[in-house]
Structure formats: structure tokens, C-alpha cells
Amino acid sequence: MAEQHDESADTLDGTETADGQPFFKSRRAAAVFKHAILAKYVVPFASKTGSTSTGNRVVIVDGYAGAGRYEDGKPGSPALIAEAARNPALKGRIIECHFVEQDAATYRSLRQVLEEVDNGGTLVWEARHGNVAEHLDELLARAVGVPLFLFLDPFGLGLPFDVIVDIFASRPSGQYVPATEVLFRFDANAIRRIRGVLHKDDPSNKGREKTLGALDRAAGGTWWRDEDDPTLDNRQYLEWFEERLLDEITTRAKCAGWTAAVKPREDLQTTYLLVFLTRHRDGMETFGETLSKAQETWRREVFDQAFAAIHGSDQSALIELDPDAIFKRQEADLAEQLQSQIEQNLRALLRDHERFVVRTKYGAVYKGVEGIARITHLRKALKSLHAAGVTTSNQVGDVYAKQVIRAPGAQP
Ligand SMILES: C[S@@+](CC[C@H](N)C(=O)[O-])C[C@H]1O[C@@H](n2cnc3c(N)ncnc32)[C@H](O)[C@@H]1O
């Protein structure tokens, strides 16, 4: 069923390999973000879905696994997944971890890392050498009847859009069926470069159609060029592309999803888009929480890099300036802004509805701060509105699904 398109021209577009440096030397801020997501999401996913699955089994696939760890010892996605699978919170679940890696030397390193993490223990894992597209049918067969989380993290453009749609088509849909979730990376350099080729219309470029076709396959059609507004600069275009891609894929795969534009630093251009797809409301909410926490981890990484760039190894700066305290203050300011935005959103909602459940108005509650704010900010906003008499609901309990947010005077 699966095939991987010929994307050799884009292979080096994965930013981690720019300047020809080996990818697995050390981790950059953009990689910190995706790893924070894995570190924070796999456990709640496996815990929830594995509590009711057949044999308490859960299948996790890392399709572009890499070396397992960086040379500086920091975990790559395989080490993070393996460590999550051994988390005591997952006791009683069987987490089956599958890894695919195409490059022979990287694959050897991957096996070694997995053996070390497992250390003769009880981790259930298999590593496959080769092209993920060729292993996909077999991996999907292994996940029949049980929850599946698939992580696809290629350099450049990865599996074609239609393959991702087919994964969802091959899995059951409905409320009480095993979950299907996919998290994939979409390379932003490839989008910018191929858009450049589109606009150049250079007759001497013999590979033009092939290059444009590569993005057609990754994006699921020619919409990205047919609807391109040439007056948009690359930053604006990418924002449009991100939204449009999510719309296209969630419609075709009949699921819901999140996207995040991941940058090395707030003022720099996007390195890649992360796209998360799920058919479960729980998955959407839990991933929203995860995104918010991963943003915080990313902000800390960027802050630490900036601090180190300014102060180098000057130990006295560490003592005098106390980076922890500075970061904490910045975070507290941000938390206030997030809370204030949610308060505004709740006030607007309460003007139109005398009572509602957050889950049914999730987008409107988090409008403007989606993926940045999370339940802690929502609870604080509710507490403040409760104190101000704007709602009779406080912030305790299951604030997403159970608590009814009421205007004063509304029927209980
Ligand atoms: C971006 S790196 C993976 C990083 C890793 N997921 C992490 O977070 O630590 C992409 C990896 O995919 C491998 N790869 C490239 N094409 C592949 C394919 N078709 N199937 C499987 N692996 C592939 C590359 O050799 C490289 O190690």
C-alpha cells in the first residue's frame, strides 16, 4: 500500500543536516520541541488507551527513528519512546515499540541504544532496517485491534499525504474503537524552496515538474500552488499553508488535529511544521496540554541558549543574574497574558450562552492562545471570573468535560 516518493532532492532539507553536519551530534532548539512532545505525550496516550485495549496492548511506531541518542548523550526519539514505555505509570500495559531506520550505520547505533535502555529488561521492542514505506503494511498489521501511535520524523518531505490518509482509512472509526494517532513532521525549508521553484517558472529547470510534484504528493494535491497568493511573503504563505494543510488532511483522513510551527528562535523562520492527527476528543485535549508544556520547554531552551551566548561560561553571571529567576518571571508574565485572553474569551462566551461545557466550546475558550495555554491557565481564568461574579462556576474538578460554566442566574 505504501510507497515513498522520490524526494532525493529534498533529503538534505532537514535543517539538522544543513551545513553538512551529522544530524546526531547535538540537539537544536527545534528538535527540543518535538522531543518534549514525545516525552510528555506517549505516557498519557498509552496509559489512557492501554487501560481498555485488548490485552492492554499499545503499539508505538517511530518510522524515521535515527540513531537513538545524540553523541552528547541526549535522547533522540527512540530513547524517549523506550523510556516512556518503561514509565511505572504504564504498569499493566504492554507497550510494543517499533523502530525503522534506513541508514545502516545509524541503524546499528539505534539497536545499541535500545539494548542499553532495555538493559536485558522487559521493554518490548523491535527495530527494522530499511525504508518505512516498505515496512508500513506489516507494522499496521501488528497494530490491528489495538491503539496505535505513529511518529514520522523525516528529513525533507516524508511519506506522501495519501499514505497517511490510507493509514486512517485502514483503521476503525467510532467512539469506542482503538485509537489511531499520527504525529508527523513537514519540512518548512522544502515548502519555501519548492514555492520558489513555482514562482521562478524557469524553462531551463528540467526538474521543475518533478520538484513541484514532490510537494503535490506530500501536501495531497495541487492546492498549495493553485491557491497560492503571490503577494504573501514566505512567512505569511507558510502560516496559510499550515492552516490549509491541516484542513485538507483532517477532512480527507476524517479526523481532527493540531499543528505547530517550530522555530529555532521566535524571531527566526519556521524550521518545520508538526502535524498531529487523532480521531478522539481525549487525544485532542491531551495533545493540546502537551503542546503547551512543550512550548514552555522550548522557551527555556531558547532562553538558556541566549543566556549562554551573552554570558558564555562566566560563572559569576549565573550567580548574579540567576537565570532560573529571570525565566520564571518571564513565564509568570506570559501566564498572566494567557489567563487574561481566556478570561476575555469566557466573558464573550457567557454573553452568548448562559451555560456551556468547555469541551463543546474548546476552540472559543482558547481562541488566540491555542496550543500555548493549557488547563492551569483556564482554571485561573475561571477562578478570577468566579470571584468577579461573572460565572457561578469555580475551577475545580473535571473542568473540560463535566463542569458546566454558568452565567449568574442561569438554570443549574
Ligand atoms: C530527522 S532524522 C530522525 C530523528 C529522530 N526521529 C529523533 O527525533 O531523534 C531522520 C532519520 O530517518 C532516516 N530515514 C530517511 N529516510 C528513511 C526511510 N525512508 N525510512 C526509514 N528511515 C529513513 C534517516 O537515516 C535519519 O536517521
Mean pLDDT on 242-254: 98
Q: What is the pLDDT of residues 259-296, one digit of tens each?
A: 999 999 989 999 999 999 999 999 999 999 999 999 99
Do the Cβ atoms of 338 and 372 come closer than 8 Å?
yes
**Which numbered atom of ligand 1 lies nearest the CA of 135?**
20
Q: Which residue has the cell 488535529?
A: 257
At 351 the three-state DSSP class reads helix
Is the Cβ atom of 160 under 6 angstroms away from ligand 1? no
Q: Which of 124, 130, 133 is nearest to 98 (CA)?
A: 124
Average of per-residue pLDDT values in the chain: 90
pLDDT at 5 over 90: no
Alpha carbons 285 and 79: distance in angstroms, whole number: 25
Q: In angstroms, what is the span from residue 39 Cα to ligand 1's centroid?
A: 18
Q: What is the pLDDT of residues 139-188, one digit of tens each?
A: 999 999 999 999 999 999 999 999 999 999 999 998 889 999 999 999 99
Q: What is the pLDDT of residue 354?
A: 92
Report which residue type is found at 329.
R
What number of other Cβ atoms are within 10 A of residue 175's Cβ? 7
| CA–CA distances in Å: residue 33 to residues 37, 286, 388 | 6, 16, 37
Q: What is the pLDDT of residues 89-128, one digit of tens each?
A: 999 999 999 999 999 999 999 999 999 999 878 899 999 9
Q: Which of 60, 245, 243, 270 is nearest to 161 (CA)?
A: 245
**Which numbered atom of ligand 1 lies nearest the CA of 16?**
1
**Which numbered atom of ligand 1 lies nearest the CA of 101?**
22
Q: What is the pLDDT of residue 27?
A: 66
Q: In angstroms, what is the span from residue 284 Cα to ligand 1's centroid?
A: 26
Mean pLDDT on 56-81: 96
Q: How far from the centroid of its chain's Cα atoms is residue 169's Cα?
A: 21
Is the Cβ atom of 218 under 6 angstroms away from ligand 1? no
What number of other Cβ atoms are within 10 A of residue 133's Cβ? 19
Read off the pTM.
Answer: 0.91
Grid cell of 262 as nine digits: 517550530
Higher pLDDT, 29 or 373: 373
pLDDT at 4 over 50: no
Q: What is the pLDDT of residues 207-226, one digit of tens each?
A: 999 999 999 999 999 999 99
Q: What is the pLDDT of residue 410?
A: 80
Confidence category of residue 17, pLDDT binned at 50, 70, 90: very low
Q: In angstroms, what is the span from residue 283 Cα to ligand 1's centroid?
A: 25
Q: What is the pLDDT of residue 313?
A: 72
Asked whether the CA dihedral 264, 270, 271, 272 is positive or negative, the reply is positive
Grid cell of 411 as nine digits: 438554570
pLDDT at 232 over 70: yes
| CA–CA distances in Å: residue 373 to residues 2, 267, 369, 404 | 37, 20, 6, 20
Alpha carbons 289 and 33: distance in angstroms, whole number: 14
Query: Atom 12, ligand 1: which residue's CA is nearest?
Result: 64
Q: What is the pLDDT of residue 133?
A: 97
Is the Cβ atom of 283 under 6 angstroms away from ligand 1? no
Percent of the chain with pLDDT over 90: 78
Angle (CA) 184 367 33, round 5°: 35
Confidence category of residue 24, pLDDT binned at 50, 70, 90: low
Q: What is the pLDDT of residues 351-392, one digit of tens each?
A: 999 999 999 999 999 999 999 999 999 999 999 999 999 998
Mean pLDDT on 341-350: 96
